[in-house]
């Protein structure tokens, strides 16, 4: 009955597990993309030193900050577009399910272009 009063319907255990698994997949994918992108741009592949030098550290800090800033902006934009398509009735967050969601590839490419 929660749907009558503006609340969301209760999720079953299977739905909660599937939602949690999708979130773990999404975070793992985001971490992998972050690591690949920022390492490629900031870390010298000759590995002359055991530790990061100051320039590499600063570059990584900035790259990670920019990555998350862009990720937040893209997420907000995608949620706004999803709400617009659904007449503003979307109440949950947008979850990527296996990479086949409409428009995800376009936004993923835009994120990579901004970092």
Query: How large is the average pLDDT for residues 80-99?
Result: 62
- pTM of the predicted structure, to 2 decimals: 0.58
If you average pLDDT over residues 18-38, what whole number do you get? 94
Two tokens, residue 53? 């030098």
Question: What pLDDT, on a 0 to 100 scale, did the predictor assign at position 5?
Answer: 56
**Ordered structural domains, the chain, with CATH:** 12-114 (1.10.287.810)
Question: If you average pLDDT over every residue of the chain, what do you get?
Answer: 79
Per-residue pLDDT for 7 more than 80?
no
Higher pLDDT, 4 or 84: 84
- The CA distance from 52 to 72, in Å, is 28
CA distance 83 to 91: 8
């Amino acid at each position: 009955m929660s749907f009558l009063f503006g609340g969301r319907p209760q999720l079953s255990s299977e739905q909660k597990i599937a939602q949690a698994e999708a979130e773990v997949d999404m975070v793992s994918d985001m971490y992998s993309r972050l690591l690949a992108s920022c390492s490629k741009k900031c870390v010298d592949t000759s590995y002359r030193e055991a530790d990061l030098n100051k320039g590499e550290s600063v570059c990584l800090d900035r790259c990670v900050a920019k990555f998350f800033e862009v990720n937040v902006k893209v997420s907000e934009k995608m949620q706004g577009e999803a709400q617009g398509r659904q007449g503003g009735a979307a109440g949950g967050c947008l979850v990527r399910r296996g990479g086949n969601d409409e428009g995800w590839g376009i936004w993923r490419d835009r994120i990579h272009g901004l970092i």
